[in-house]
Amino acid sequence: NHELLALEVMAATLLRFPNADPAWRRSVAQTLLDEQRHARLYLERMAALGVELGDFPLGDFIWRIGRSLESPQAYNAVMALTLEQANLDFATYYRDQLRALGDEASAEVLDAVLLDEIEHVRRGLMFFKRCKPAQQSVWEASTPALPPPLTPARANRIALSDTGRAQACSPATRLPPI
């Protein structure tokens, strides 16, 4: 469900800011394509386990936050630096839990998702740094861009993935063409 909500936010963002930096728009479009692949991976794995989307209650938090983003920089702060960053923790934690339980197929799905999430955070950070005031740190610039009830705490979930964050802060390891 969170992948589908993220897709909707990304599509709405592209429609909302047609005159934004073309490189940023390509990055959002690439992320949207990755999120589509993640949704397919999750749906396929769920089907293999006998579960369908909608079998359990679904939330709309990502859509409620993302639908009101007022600028590309707000998108970067909310989606890349907060929600995608939280996915570094979720993917790492659940991958390790599933692997410990012997569900290698599900762990491999999360390995694939994690690699993309690292790249999403990396690109979002790159664009955020490009657009923020030079005298402000990323923290100083991004925190006020988060709409309530979102706070920076949302970017750290379950168990901190230092490795994922270090990779997201390093130069690009891959940037697929669009």
Give φ, ψ of 103 to 5 degrees.
-95, 75
Reported confidence tier of residue 166, pLDDT bands at 50, 70, 90: confident
pTM: 0.88
Query: Per the structure block, which two tokens stand in for 35?
Result: 């999120």
Which among 117, 27, 29 has a CA at the least distance from the CA of 81? Answer: 117
| Mean pLDDT along residues 120-126 | 93
pLDDT at residue 105, as a whole number: 98
Average pLDDT across the chain, whole number: 90
Cα–Cα distance for residue pair 154/5, rounded to 1 Å: 17
Give the rounded percent of residues in the chain with a pLDDT score beyond 90.
Answer: 73
| Mean pLDDT along residues 132-152 | 90
| Mean pLDDT along residues 122-146 | 92
Instruction: Measure Cα distances from 163 to 85, 90, 141, 170 in Å.
Output: 12, 13, 24, 11
Residues, the chain: 178
E strand or H helix that includes residue 150: none
User: Taking the alpha carbons of 146, 150, 151, 155 in that order, is the dihedral positive or negative?
Assistant: negative
pLDDT digits (tens, 9 = 90+) for 58-95: 899 888 888 889 999 999 999 999 999 999 999 999 99
Give φ, ψ of 53 to 5 degrees.
-60, 130
pLDDT digits (tens, 9 = 90+) for 155-164: 776 777 777 7
Cα–Cα distance for residue pair 89/164, rounded to 1 Å: 8
CB contact burial 23-57 (16+ within 10 A = b; e otherwise): ebbebbebbbebbeebbebbeebeeeeeeeeeeee
163 vs 29, higher pLDDT: 29
